[in-house]
Amino acid sequence: MQITKKTKLKGLKKTREIGPLGVVETLRKKKVTGRGGAGFLVAKKWKSVMDTKSDVKYLICNGDEGEPGTFKDKFIIMNNSETLIEGIIIAAETIGAKTVYFYLRGEYVNLRKFLENKIKKVLQKSNSNIEIIVVMGAGAYICGEETAIIKSIEGYRGQPSYKPPFPWQEGLWEKPTVVNNVETFVHVAQALCFKDYNPNLKLYSVSGSVKKPGIYEELSGEKLSKIISKAKPINKPKAIYFGCFGGCKPYKEMKLIPKTICGDDCVHGAASLIVADNKTSAIDMAYIISKFFTHESCGKCTPCREGNIQILLLLKKLRKGEATKKDFELLKELSLHIQETSLCGLGQTSTKHLLNAMKHFKKEFTDLLVKEKGE
Ligand code: SF4
């Protein structure tokens, strides 16, 4: 696995030899992209902050992975933290940040001491004078969103803000800020260290109905069946869920390409693959995922806050066999409305799984509807 390959501070050595512009140029040439889901070019993001005039700049390491079925950042922290911290130091020295905040998912509280010790050691070894402060999340999924993470570190309620201004313009305490995901920093250090660095390697978190859930590293564009067969399905797979945000599809051969899956209605996101087998009900899955979104909605905007509660109530009704055709149509309409009118990515993608399931597994839904006269 490339992700566990150690760089032994050679990426940092190179950084100090070639300077900030050399680093950005190398990352650009090597096509290093962010690994949090959006796939934005790292060089572009960093250069925007470098070009913004300010006496203070900040760097945030986003370790708040909270999407169900995603655990790649935890794997990295546990298995290659030195390279991760090296990547953070490279970023800070390149953009000119003296202080870095490492935002760690609340549920990973047991990793805190381990991480702080590693940070201390790597900072000493690298003779770096930057400060890396570990901040614990409080278990809110939305704090993985870059504007919400900023609010949370500032001590406010973790809620997304309207953009612009973007964090690279006005981020933490209104200063230019780079926010990158844990996995991204490992790629940065490796891209600067290894001649044979490959930006197309991708970590997949595989879970659900499999005997060997875990992290699998493959080239993007790899066939789904290759990854899932390594994880050893328990029963015949029926559907694949791309985390909770990416939507779902019937299980069939497809190439896993970042951003789009077969160019249709599912997205790759943080590369979480949840296998549902032929004994799993599509309605149960929809209910569980909707419960997650109802719980994780930050409450700032009405469509996401209230809409997801209504979705959950309609699914409850459906599971009890009390929903009508009208309810089924309402479920669809409401899902689209939430997608179109919510403020941030959470609301905008919260009903993708449901719309996909209603399309691909329609019969499971309609079989539960109250039969009308003449049916
Ligand atoms: S879409 Fe949901 S999570 Fe995002 S701001 Fe609105 S209420 Fe909060």
Q: How far is it, in rounded angstroms, from Cα 87 to Cα 9? A: 9
- State the pLDDT at residue 294: 97
Domains and their CATH numbers in the chain = 2-193 (3.40.50.11540), 201-277 (3.10.20.600), 282-366 (1.20.1440.230)
Cα dihedral 174, 129, 113, 84 sign: positive
Q: How far is the CA of 257 from the centre of ligand 1 (A)?
A: 27
What pTM was computed for the model? 0.94
Name the residue of 346, 349, 352 to mutate for ligand 1: max ligand atoms within 8 A of Cβ.
346
Ligand 1 atom closest to 308 (CA): 2
Phi, psi (degrees; rounded to nearest 5) at 210 = -135, 150
Cα–Cα distance measured from residue 244 to residue 96, given in angstroms and rounded to the nearest whole number: 36
Average of per-residue pLDDT across 291-317: 97
Spatial CA neighbour of 245 closest among 265, 267, 275 = 267
Q: How does strand 214-219 pair with strand 99-104?
A: unpaired
Is a pLDDT exceeding 90 seen at residue 228? Answer: yes
Residue with CA closest to ligand 1 atom 4: 344
Ligand 1 geometric centre to CA of 299 (Å): 6
How far does residue 295's CA lie from ligand 1's centre (Å)?
Answer: 11
Nearest CA to 48 out of 141, 177, 219 is that of: 177
Atom of ligand 1 nearest to the CA of 296: 3
In the reported structure, the alpha carbon of residue 45 is separated from the centroid of ligand 1 by a whole-number distance in angstroms of 24
Confidence category of residue 262, pLDDT binned at 50, 70, 90: very low
Report angle CA 345, 348, 350 to the nearest 5 degrees.
95
Pairing, β 131-136 against β 177-181 = unpaired
Ligand 1 pocket, CB under 6 A: 142, 159-160, 297-301, 304-305, 342-344, 346-347
Neighbouring-strand partners of residue 240: 249, 275
pLDDT for 259: 61
Indicate the top mutation candidate among 152, 342, 351 to test ligand 1's pocket, ranked by most ligand atoms within 8 A of CB. Answer: 342
Q: Give residue-wise pLDDT tens across range 170-203.
A: 999 999 999 999 999 999 999 999 999 999 998 9
Long-range CB contact pairs, 152-155, < 8 A, 24+: 152/103, 153/60, 153/101, 153/103
DSSP, res 299:
S
The tens digit of pLDDT for each residue in 107-116 reads 999 999 999 9
With 0-12 / 13-18 / 19 or more C-beta atoms within 10 angstroms meaning exposed / middle / buried, residue 265 is middle
